[in-house]
Amino acid sequence: MDDQNKNLILAVALSMLVILGWSYFFPPPEPTAEQLAANAPSSQTTSETIASTPLAAQDTQAPAAAAAKPGVDAPRIKVQSERLEGTISLLGGRFDELKLKNYRENLAQDSDIVPLLKPTSSDNAYYALYGWAPGAGLTAELVPGPNTVWSLVRGDRLTPSTPITLGWDNGAGLQFQREIALDEDYLFTITQSVSNTGAGAVSLAPYGTIARHGEPADLKNFFILHEGAIRHVAGELTETDYSDFESARSHEEHLVGDKGWTGFTDHYWMTTLIVDQPGAKISAFKDTQRDIYQTTAKHKTETLATGQSLRVSSRLFAGAKEWETIRTYQDDGGIPKFLDSIDWGWFFFITKPMFWLLHYLHAMIGNMGWAIIGLTFIIKLVLFPLAYKSYASMAKMKELQPQMEKIKEQAGDDRQKVQQEMMALYKKEKVNPAAGCLPILMQIPIFFSLYKVIFVTLELRHAPWIGWIKDLSAPDTSSIFNLFGIFPWAAPEPGSIMALVFIGILPLLLGITMWLQQKLNPAPSDPIQQQIFAWMPWVFMFMLGSFASGLVIYWIANNTITFTQQYLIMRSHGYKPDVFGNIRSSFKRASKDAE
């Protein structure tokens, strides 16, 4: 591979990173206050229910989410555990107030804990509710729905050790109960039961639904991250963006089979309905009139004769997308492919094992920043056999550079002759110029995968490293603007134009390590290409300055290890690179030009 092809590959790699940088620096604009207000539902919305899909008379209809009845002030049952706090409203038995106790909205010590579910009286209401859809012999008023006021039959609060039971009698021969249990983490078990003491047979089906009023206020709309509906049915994972929701009247239902799940996923949090009984159907749709997004899991219709009872259990996950917790639910709780609720991306075959290794390095070391550096060492160790051949080839290319320059001088403008004599020289000296491209090609998916891991995984959120680095998922907060904290004024806000110009310590180290590494590589023969490559470290320094600190730490560690490996390997092959001599020469040329 000649210099031009090699440079083309480098240009492609740089272009990929430019695209990432552009999307990071210039994301879609945040919604304005007016837009948020337009999307927020009115607290006076009527309690109408809309059938999710037209069905035959003998089947059931799962009602869409409805706002609370005006004037209804139902009692609430407290939810309390080491991970969660909130309440369940007896109006519909709604899970509509839930907070994540282990997570705060920002790094401030007095910051509020993260809210997950919100009642209909709040902006961007978000809640889960359960009920029964009427079939033959029943109407909506005779089964519990979104606005049924339940009674507390057993228990006074919901904790991992104290489940609760709700009850409701329709006054026409059907008695309903709902048992709710909570584990130590984020999983609720909801058991719905009904007894028919009436005079005739009835048909009905239990369902669960999760509703969001409008799009989330903190929706990121970033191409590398999926936010919206998610479902797993028959071994297939499907993701639906908010812009792609089907309407309530024309959506498709999906038969679960043995097990399946559906719900809403955010950047770090998720709410999911989990069913494991044959015959259930799940769906996602939007009530366009009221701007409500909804995912539903509806069990199959059952007919109850007089004296018969029915009991159906399902589960609700409402919490943080912690890798270890979700993996436990998948492996021990029988929730198929639940780890795929974390958006691993196109390179999932790299991102999944990469995070697995990062997770265990963090468990051993106790600090995610040092775990990233440890991960970099392991990656470089795995790639060392390939790197060894590449660096040995580069050393030989460096030695051959005087002969290559001589060939170009003798051939003049005859490019074909230059290529022929170059190939002859490579063959004679047993040099493979393509060997230098392989480590670069390998780094592209690794870099992209680590970028994905750092961006989407909760474990990097608010994870500190050393000193001023308090959040590895956020950009470096130091800045040349205040001389890295020496001067009393504040640094520019991360992501601002000022922050791009007045970079921090980590981006500066990135540029220096890239520049040092470049000094060991054969220089392009073309003067224009030489200038482009000379500017690349400093372009990358500013371009990656607003990327997550964890990613910049990886890149610095990678450059440092690469430089050390390449320097030692080149010396072992008889070539002694004078890096610091090159630096002195650069300063001398700069001084001479200034004069």
**Together in a domain, 302 and 357:** no
Q: How confident is the model at residue 31 (pLDDT cuts 50, 70, 90)?
A: very low
- Which pLDDT score, from 0 to 100, does residue 33 have? 34
- Which pLDDT score, from 0 to 100, does residue 504 have? 84
**Together in a domain, 497 and 561:** yes
* 44 SS3 class: coil
- Which pLDDT score, from 0 to 100, does residue 25 have? 43
- Which pLDDT score, from 0 to 100, does residue 26 have? 39
- Checking if the pLDDT of 12 tops 60, the result is no
- Which pLDDT score, from 0 to 100, does residue 413 have? 74
524 lies in some domain: yes
- Checking if the pLDDT of 86 tops 80, the result is yes
- Which pLDDT score, from 0 to 100, does residue 66 have? 53
- Checking if the pLDDT of 215 tops 90, the result is yes
297 lies in some domain: yes
Closest CA to 341 of 357, 315, 317, 363: 317
- Which pLDDT score, from 0 to 100, does residue 6 have? 44
66 lies in some domain: no
**Together in a domain, 224 and 313:** yes
**Together in a domain, 232 and 306:** yes
Question: Whole-angstrom Cα distance, residue 507 to residue 553?
Answer: 9
Residue whose pair of structure tokens reads 């159907």 in the numeric block: 281
- Which pLDDT score, from 0 to 100, does residue 38 have? 34
Partners of 294 in the beta sheet?
211, 285
157-158 and 76-80 beta bridge pairing: parallel
Lowest mean pLDDT among 28-32, 344-348, 352-356, 369-373: 28-32
79 lies in some domain: yes
pLDDT, tens only, 121-146: 999 999 999 999 999 889 999 999 99
- Which pLDDT score, from 0 to 100, does residue 496 have? 66
Please answer whether residues 63 and 208 qualify as being in contact, where contact means their C-beta atoms are separated by less than 8 angstroms: no
Domain boundary among 320, 341, 362: 341
- Residue predicted with more confidence, 579 or 220: 220
Domain boundary among 341, 373, 400: 341
Parent domain of 106: 31-54+73-341
pLDDT, tens only, 222-263: 888 999 999 999 889 999 999 999 998 888 899 888 899 999
306 lies in some domain: yes
Tell me the average pLDDT across 484-497. Answer: 67
**Together in a domain, 108 and 250:** yes
Residue 288 makes CB contacts below 8 A (sequence gap 6+) with 247, 248
**Together in a domain, 143 and 285:** yes
**Together in a domain, 545 and 561:** yes
Residue whose pair of structure tokens reads 């950047």 in the numeric block: 267
CATH (domain of 213)? 2.70.98.90
Question: Whole-angstrom Cα distance, residue 11 to residue 22?
Answer: 16
Lowest mean pLDDT among 318-322, 374-378, 526-530, 544-548: 526-530
67 lies in some domain: no
Please answer whether residues 476 and 469 qualify as being in contact, where contact means their C-beta atoms are separated by less than 8 angstroms: yes
**Together in a domain, 480 and 509:** yes
**Together in a domain, 274 and 332:** yes
Domain boundary among 341, 368, 402: 341
pLDDT, tens only, 430-466: 777 666 666 667 778 888 888 899 989 999 999 999 9
- Which pLDDT score, from 0 to 100, does residue 224 have? 85
For 305, the token pair is 């004769």
Tell me the average pLDDT across 106-115. Answer: 91
291 lies in some domain: yes
- Name the average pLDDT for the chain: 82
| The 309-320 sheet, strands edge to edge | 151-154, 164-169, 174-182, 187-196, 309-320, 269-275, 260-265, 228-233, 236-241
CA pseudo-torsion sign 566, 571, 573, 576: positive
Number of folded domains that form the chain: 2
**Together in a domain, 10 and 159:** no
Q: What letter would DSSP give residue 405?
A: H
For 530, the token pair is 């030489």
Question: Whole-angstrom Cα distance, residue 239 to residue 323?
Answer: 19
- Which pLDDT score, from 0 to 100, does residue 314 have? 96
- Checking if the pLDDT of 23 tops 50, the result is no
pLDDT, tens only, 159-179: 999 999 999 999 999 999 999
- Which pLDDT score, from 0 to 100, does residue 269 have? 97
pLDDT, tens only, 520-573: 776 666 677 777 777 888 888 888 777 889 999 999 999 999 888 888 887 776
**Together in a domain, 12 and 48:** no
**Together in a domain, 162 and 237:** yes
pLDDT, tens only, 476-485: 888 776 666 6
pLDDT, tens only, 184-209: 999 999 999 999 998 889 999 999 99
Tell me the average pLDDT across 299-324. Answer: 96
187 lies in some domain: yes
- Checking if the pLDDT of 4 tops 50, the result is no
